[in-house]
Structure 1
Amino acid sequence: MSGYRYRRYAGGPDPLAPPADLRAAMDELGREVMEGSSPAAALRELLRRGLPGQRGLDELTSRLWQKRAAIQRRHRLDGTLQEVQRLLERALEAERAALFPDPDDEARFREARLDALPPGTAAAVRELAEYDWRSPQARESYERIRDLLGRELMDQRFQGMKEAMSNVGRADVERIQRMLSDLNGLLAAHAAGEDTDQRFAEFMREHGDFFPENPSTVDELIDALAARSAAAQRMMNSMTEQQRAELAALSEQAFGDSGVGQQLATLDSLLQGLRPGEDWNGSARFRGQNPLGLGEGAQAMADLAELDALAEQLAQSYPGARLEDIDLEALVRQLGEEAGVDARRLAELERQLREQNLLERAPDGSLRLTPKALRQLGETALRGVLDTARAQGQRDNRQAGAAGELIGSTRPWRFGDTEPWNVPRTVSNAVLRAAGGAVSLDVVDVEVSETEQRSRAAVALCVDTSWSMVQDGRWVPMKRTALALHHLVSTRFRTDALQLITFGRHAETVDIGQLTALEGVWEQGTNLHHALLLAGRHVRRHPDAQPVVLVVTDGEPTAHLEADGEAVFNYPPVDRTLAKTVAEVDALTRLGASMTVFKLGEDPRLAAFVDLVARRSGGRVVAPGEDGLGAAVVSDYLRSRRHR
C-alpha cells in the first residue's frame, strides 16, 4: 500500500485560506467613492483600514513603528566598550593580585606602571600591548580583549561571524586577511567593469563559509555587504565622539599588525563607491539600558533600516505602488508569520479586485470602477432602499405580471396566452364542471388574469449637486438613491429610459459611473432651470413614453440659464430666476410629465417654492430624511408605474 506524508504546505498561498470578501470590499469602495474619493484613493483607504476581521496596512505599519521605538528605547551602543573595559579591569585586578605578595623591586615597578596607565580604555589597552604579564589569568583576560574586538569587527561587517569565530587564532587571522584581500580584489575588478563571474565562483568556493546569505552573483554579494557596512557606519554615527574615538583606537589592536584593519577600511571604501545609494550618513538615538556589541549594534541598525523600508512599502505612497512590492520575507522576519499572512491577504484582495473586472484603468491612466462594479453597488443600494421601504411599511412592488399590470378581470385561456393563470377561478371551473364527482383539471377550466400592456416611461432624475448637499451630509444619500434607481430600471424595467441630470451652477447629463465618482466642489448656485431644460429634452426624445420627472434638492433655485448659455447666479433668488424655472415646469406639465420634488431640509423658502411647483404641475412634494431619500424616490417611481 502506498503511504501518505503530511508536512507544512510551501507551494504558494494557503489553499485553505478563506477567499477575499469582494462584496464587502466593493461596499467599502463604493462608500468611499460616493463620498467623493477617487477609486484609486478609495482602494488605498480600503487597504489601509482593512476589512472587518482583517488587519490593514495601518495596523501593520503601527506595529513596525512600535518595534522600531522598542529597539531604540531598550538598547544602547556601548556594549563592546563596556566589555573591553570589564576585561581590562579583570586583567589589572588579577595582575595586581599576583604582584602584591612579591617583595621584589621589579614587582613594585610593575605596579607603578599599571598605576600610570592612561585613563582611556583604548589608550590603556594599547599601552599594555608589550606588557609581560605575571599572572596567567591576567594574560588570558587581556588576550580575550583582542579576540573580542576581532570577532566584533568581523560580525559588524559579516553577519553571524561572532558565533562562527569563537576563538581567533593566528591561523584564523591569516585566513581572514586572505579572504579580505581576495574580496577587495574581486570588488575592485567589478568596479572597473571587468567580467568577474569566474572570479566570483572561485571566491565563493574558497570563502563561502564567511557569507551565510549564500549570494549567487557579485551584485548580490555587494548588496549584502553594503547593507551591513552602511548599518555599521550608521551605528558609528549614532555614538558620541568620545565613543567613536575609543572604538577607532581599539580597532587598531584587534588583529595586531596583520593588516586586517587596513583591509576592512579598503572594503568599506569600495562598498561606498559601488553602492552610493545606501544610507551611509544616517544615525539613530538609542536611550535604553541593554548594551549592544558592534555586531549586535550593526544588526540593530540594519533592523531599523529594514523597518523603515517596510513602512515605506506599506504606505504605498510612491507612484505605481502595488502590494506585491512588499518584501514579505522581511515583514515576516520583523513582525512574524501572522503579519505575512495579513499582507498576502491584502495583496490577494487587491489582485482579485482587478482580475474580477471590478477596477480598470481609464484612458488617462486613472483608476475607475467598471460597469460590473457599478452593478454590484447598485444592487447593494437597491437592497438597502427596499429594506428601508419595507421597514417604513411601504409595499415591495418588485414583481410584476408576465405580460403587464393586472387589471382585476379574467377570461378563458387561449392558445398563445402568456398572462398568469387565475388559480381560484380555474379551480372553481373544474369543481363546477365535475358536478360532485372527481375533480380534475382540463384545459377548458383555465382562466387567465387580464393585464394591460405596460407603458414605457422616460424618467429624468434631477439631483442637486450644489455645495450645500455636501455640507449638510446629503451627498452620499443622493448618490445611493441614484444608484438604486438606476439598478432598478436597468434590471427590472428595461423598457424605461432613465436620464441622470446633475445641477449646481450649471446642469449636465451624466452616466451612473460619472455620478458615482463625482466629487463635491465649492460652487454656489442651484440651477433647476437648466436641469428642467435637459429633462424636457430627454422627454421629447421619447414621445411614445410616459414622462416622469423626479427632482432631489435642498435649496430654492438661485441660478438660471440665459439664451447665450451663461449661468446667472443671485442670492436671494431674483424674480427672473424663479420665472424661468416655473416656465420650464409648465412646459413639462404640457408634455404630460408626472413631477415629484423631494425636498431635503427645512428651508421655508424652498418649501414655498416646491408647493408652487406641485400646484402648477399637479405633482407631489415628498420631504424624506436623508436616510429615507432612496426609499422615497424608488417608491415614487414604482407608484407612478402602477398608475400607468
Structure 2
Amino acid sequence: MIGFNFSEYKNEGKDKSTFEQLLNIFQQLLLIFAGNVSEALSYLSDLDRQYQLTDDKYGIADFIDDLKKQGYISEEKQDGELTLTAKTERNIRKQSLEEIFGKLKRAKSSGNHRSPHKGTSDENSSDVRAFQFGDNLDQISMTESIRNAQINNGLGDDLVIFEKDLEVTDRESNIQTSTVLMIDISHSMILYGEDRITPAKKVALAMAEIIRTRYPKDTLDIIVFGNDAWQIQLKDIPYLEVGPFHTNTVAGLELAMDLLRRRKTKNKQIFMITDGKPTCLKEGINYYKNSFGLDRKIVNKTLNIAAQAKRLKIPITTFMIATDPYLKKFVHEFTEVNQGRAYYSNLDGLGGFVLEDFERNRRKNVK
C-alpha cells in the first residue's frame, strides 16, 4: 500500500487471548486508516491470510462479532456501516500512552507536577527520594530513613543515621500548565513511502491521556495545520488524514498563541510536530505558496511569529521529522529566536522525545 511501510508481524502477546491480540492490531490499523473500520478489518484479514493470526477455532468473523458484542464497534441500521464507539477511542488513547510512555525509563520518584521550586500550594506526595541540600526537615520520611540506616549501618543498640540514609517525602506543585500541540497535515507527511501522520496521531493521543490521568488540572489544545490551521477535539484525532496541503506554519503558530492567550495559567508552551519547511502564507483571501527551497518572505514571517511568542514567554519545542541540512539550519535559527528547543527525531523515537520534553518543560517552567 502506497504511503505505509509494514514490517512482519511478530506475536509478542502469547499470554493474551486471540481476541486481545487481534484487538491490538486492529486499533493500530484504525489510526493508519483514519478510523475507517471497514478498511482496517479488510487489511486485518489480509494480515491473517499472510501470517495466520487466527486458527480453526477462532476466525476473523468471530473477532468482528466479539467487537460488536463488547461495544468496540457499532453497525448503522440504515446502511450497515461499521463505526467506532467511544469505548474504542478511549482504548486507542490508553494503548498509545502505554506504547509510547510505558517504554520510557521512569525516574525513581515519578509523581505528578514535580517542581524545582516550592510553590504556594505544595502538598506532600506519596513519592520518596534521597535527601538533598535545601530540603526542609519536616519532609524527612523517618520510616524510610531509619530502615536505610539499619541496612547500611547495622542493627546495633545505638543506631546512627547519616545524611546518605535520609529520604524525604517529595512535594507536588499544583501550578497548572497549558500546552498546545501542533500537527502538520501537509501532503509531505505521507510522501516518500513513509507514514508520518500515524506516529503524530499516537503522540497526540498519548499526551491527551497522560494529561487527563496524571495532570487533570492542565489543559491541552490540539491543532492541525496545512494551508490553514484549525483546532480539533480529542475525539477527532483517530480520524485525521493528510490533505493536499502546503505548510502554513505561521497560521498554526498564530492560532496556538491565540488559544494560549485565553488560558489563565502562568505556564504555557507549544509543541510542533512537522516534517517540512514552511511553504505557505495567507494574504487576505489568497495564498502565497512556494515549495522550492526556503522562501525568504515565508521564513521571515515565521521567525517574526517565533519572536512574538518569546515576548509572551511561550516556548516552542519543534520536533522535526527531517534531517536535510538546510532545514536543520532553519529550525536552528527559528529555535534561537524563540529560545525554545528543537529535536530532529526519527519516527520510532518521536513519542519518547515529545513526552520526555513535556515533563522536562513542566519542571523547568514552574517558578
What's the TM-score, normalizing by structure 2?
A: 0.74
With over 3 angstroms needed to count, the CA separation of the structure-2 counterparts of 1:470 and 1:364, relative to structure 1, is farther
With over 3 angstroms needed to count, the CA separation of the structure-2 counterparts of 1:642 and 1:483, relative to structure 1, is same
2:315 paired residue number = 594
| Residue from 108, 116, 138 that aligns with 1:412 | 138
Quote the Cα distance in structure 1 between the aligned partners of 2:238 and 2:90: 12
1:24 aligned onto 2:21: yes
1:492 paired residue number = 214
| Residue from 275, 284, 290 that aligns with 1:570 | 290
Structure 1 residue runs without a partner (length 5+): 1-17, 57-337, 414-419, 431-435, 440-445
Taking the TM superposition and a 5 Å limit, the aligned residue runs for 1:423-502 are: 423-425=143-145, 449=169, 451-472=171-192, 473=194, 474-502=196-224
1:36 paired residue number = 33
* Residue identity in the other structure for 1:382: L
Taking the TM superposition and a 5 Å limit, the aligned residue runs for 1:193-592 are: 338=56, 341-342=57-58, 345-360=59-74, 366-386=81-101, 388-390=103-105, 395=107, 398-400=110-112, 403=124, 408=132, 409-412=135-138, 421=141, 423-425=143-145, 449=169, 451-472=171-192, 473=194, 474-521=196-243, 523-562=244-283, 564=284, 566-572=286-292, 573-592=294-313
Quote the Cα distance in structure 2 between the aligned partners of 1:588 and 1:556: 19
Quote the Cα distance in structure 2 between the aligned partners of 1:471 and 1:397: 41
Q: Deviation digits for residues 378-412 of structure 1, max 9, x if unmatched?
A: 3322223235544xxx8587544774698941333
Q: Tell me, what secondary structure is at the counterpart of 1:627?
A: helix
Quote the Cα distance in structure 2 between the aligned partners of 1:24 and 1:487: 22
Answer yes or no: is the 8 Å Cα contact 1:502–1:509 preserved in 2.
yes
* Residue identity in the other structure for 1:374: E
Quote the Cα distance in structure 2 between the aligned partners of 1:46 and 1:516: 17
Q: Answer 1 or 2: which has greater helix percent.
A: 1
With over 3 angstroms needed to count, the CA separation of the structure-2 counterparts of 1:513 and 1:21, relative to structure 1, is farther
2:334 paired residue number = 613
Q: Deviation digits for residues 163-199 of structure 1, max 9, x if unmatched?
A: xxxxxxxxxxxxxxxxxxxxxxxxxxxxxxxxxxxxx
Q: Tell me, what secondary structure is at the counterpart of 1:502?
A: strand
- The percent of aligned pairs where both chains have the same amino acid is 23
Return the offset for 1:587: 2.4
Quote the Cα distance in structure 1 between the aligned partners of 2:53 and 2:198: 26
Q: Tell me, what secondary structure is at the counterpart of 1:462?
A: strand
Answer yes or no: is the 8 Å Cα contact 1:598–1:624 preserved in 2.
yes
Quote the Cα distance in structure 2 between the aligned partners of 1:364 and 1:494: 39
* Residue identity in the other structure for 1:26: L
Answer yes or no: is the 8 Å Cα contact 2:124–2:169 preserved in 1.
no
| Residue from 350, 353, 361 that aligns with 1:640 | 361
Return the offset for 1:536: 0.7
Q: Deviation digits for residues 330-352 of structure 1, max 9, x if unmatched?
A: xxxxxxxx4xx44xx43332122
Quote the Cα distance in structure 2 between the aligned partners of 1:490 and 1:362: 30
With over 3 angstroms needed to count, the CA separation of the structure-2 counterparts of 1:566 and 1:500, relative to structure 1, is farther
Q: Answer 1 or 2: which has greater strand percent.
A: 2
How many residues are paired up?
320
Answer yes or no: is the 8 Å Cα contact 2:101–2:206 preserved in 1.
no
RMSD of Structure 2 on Structure 1 (CA):
3.5
Return the offset for 1:438: 8.8
Answer yes or no: is the 8 Å Cα contact 2:271–2:318 preserved in 1.
yes
Structure 2 residue runs without a partner (length 5+): 1-14, 115-122, 151-155, 160-165
Structure number, greater radius of gyration: 1
With over 3 angstroms needed to count, the CA separation of the structure-2 counterparts of 1:482 and 1:456, relative to structure 1, is same
* Residue identity in the other structure for 2:219: A
1:114 paired residue number = none
Return the offset for 1:372: 2.5
